Structures are given as structure tokens and as C-alpha cells.
A = this chain, B = another copy of it.
Amino acid sequence: LTEPFARPAETPYAADAVVECVPNFSEGRRPEVIEEIVLAARGFEGVSILDVASDPDHNRTVVTMVGAPAPVARAVVAMTGRACALIDMERQHGAHPRVGAMDVIPFIPALNMTKENCVALAREVGREIAETLGIPVYLYGEAASSPERRSLSHLRRGEYEALRTAIAEADRRPDFGPAATHPTAGATIVGARAALVAFNINLGTEDLFAARTIARAIRESSGGLPAVMAKAVALADRGMTQVTMNLTDYRVTSPLDVLDAVSKHAADLGVPIVESEIIGLVPLDVLVDLARRALKAGAFTAAQVLETRLGRPS
């Protein structure tokens, strides 16, 4: 690898910038392959791999890593190279929609990193993957080149199998790389987005009707709350049902807004709310935002959290 990310002109990031990157690759069943792809990201100074979550049904692995922008970029390009070599999309099947071996690479602001910085980083990484690996790359989210391309489901329509031929059509041309899918690795989607909050609310009934009704009422796609994705799930072992959600922009619709809305619908349906769950990692700012809202303390900031001050010189 050349090191384009080290060139000063292309790394306009703060010296203490931290970015989160959550690459999703299309292998969730073969442990030795998963390990080898993740291994490619290890050893980059300044990159921490926080989580590796594989799902055999989805046949997909989600890696969460954080660090300075340049080494995180290098690490995810290295992972993409290994995914390209070890996954054959002609043979890959699973429940999760996908267009390629390294299916999607979102960059998310963590510390001292703006949305614009993440867009710039997504473009750099997209260009690098196209140029060094010959994989066509689509930009999505905040980095998208058109409004429709902001959406992953739009870019994934028909999945890998349809994209093989559709990629030659004018409106499906990639943002970087050849207008042809890679023979084994398909295509890769790279972008920038706000931190996503995975938030579930569990209802005290085994009947899915209430969870389905509430999910439909609150999700953006059916006219509910903005930046909310929701569906109903049975939790058979626990005798409950769940409204499982992704909040794609917690500053637009926060977990507290969602709990309020779900509580009202549940009350109308006569169903009790048992508990909520925040799944996985959230940025500190989610909690700061919650304090502002729940306590009506609009002036509260992350700088007031003791732990953010630790280790600074006096």
C-alpha cells in the first residue's frame, strides 16, 4: 500500500481527531475467515478494535473500531483487501442484503471530528479501494453523490446478483472504480453517517400485534418519527415482544422521544412497557443530549463530565 492518508494536504483532521468505523463484511459463518479479515486491521498503531459481532444467519460480521483517521483508513482498506481475497460473492448467501465481500464501510464522528471530516475520509477510502483493489465503490449517507444514494437500501436494490448487470446502467455507475462488479468481491459502499443508536423497547405481551402496530406507527418509512427505523420481534424465551429500533440521528429523534411515543401507543393498546435496552456502543454525546432533555438542562456539555478531563495536563 502507498500511504495517501499520510499526505498533509489530504489529512485536514484535528491532531486529536478520533473517528469510528464500522465495516460490515459478508462472512458470518467461517471463523477462520472472519479472524483473518479482522487480523488485517490489527497492528495499526492508534487503531482500537472494540467489537467483532458475527451472525451466521445473516452471514455477516460487523466490526467496530476507533482511532485517528489516517490509521483507521489504512486498517479498513487492509481489511477490504483480505475480504476481497477470501470471500466469493458468487457463492455467498445469507439473510442480510449485500452487494459485496466488504459490503459497507461507514465512518462516524467520535471526538474532534466533524461530519465534513468523515465525508472527506469516506471519499479518500473509496478512491483508494477502487484504485488499489479494482472494486467499484458507491458513496452513501452524508458522502452520497445524489440524494437517492444517501440510502443503503437504494444502493443495494437487487443485491449483488442484480448489480452484476445493472452496474452498467447510467444511474447505477459507481462513484469510483470500474463500471463492472469485481469477479469475486462485487462492490463496496463507503460513506459517512451520524452515530446510530440501537434501541429496543420490550412489551409485556407475547402477542405481536401491539409491537407491530407500534413499529408501524413510529417508523419514518410509514410516516412516523424522523430518523427512526423500527420493526416488531417476538422474544419467545422471555414471554415478551419487542419494538426493535435503529435511531439514525439521535439529535433529530432521541431515545427519550421514542420512549415517550411508544409509551403513548402502548397505553392506548393497553400493553405495559417492561424495559428498554441500548444495544452496543453509543457516543458520550447521546448521554449528554439525554441529560439536556430529561433534566431540562440545556446548557450542560460533555466538558462537564469528569472522565473527559482525565489525563489532561494541569
Contact = CB atoms under 8 A, between A and B. Distances in A.
A287 B288 CA distance: 7
Contacts of A236: none
Interface string A254-295: 011001000000000000010111101111100110110011
Contact of A290 (B295, B308, B312): B295
Given A290-B291, A314-B42, A66 B283 contact: no
A282 B311 CA distance: 16
Q: Is the interface of A mostly helix, strand, loop or mixed?
A: mixed
Given A276-B295, A277-B297, A295-B276, A314 B65 contact: yes
Given A48-B312, A111-B307, A276 B256 contact: no
Contacts of A195: 306
A314 B255 CA distance: 30
A130 interface: no
| Band of interface residues on A | 35 or more
How many identical subunits does the complex contain? 2
B284 A297 contact: no
Nearest to A255: B295
26 contacts: A42-B314, A48-B312, A50-B306, A65-B314, A66-B306, A110-B307, A111-B310, A255-B297, A259-B296, A275-B296, A275-B299, A276-B295, A277-B297, A277-B299, A278-B291, A281-B304, A281-B305, A281-B309, A284-B284, A284-B306, A287-B287, A287-B305, A290-B290, A290-B291, A290-B294, A294-B294
Given A41-B314, A277-B300, 10 more contacts: A48-B310, A48-B314, A110-B306, A256-B294, A259-B296, A275-B299, A276-B297, A281-B305, A281-B306, A284-B287
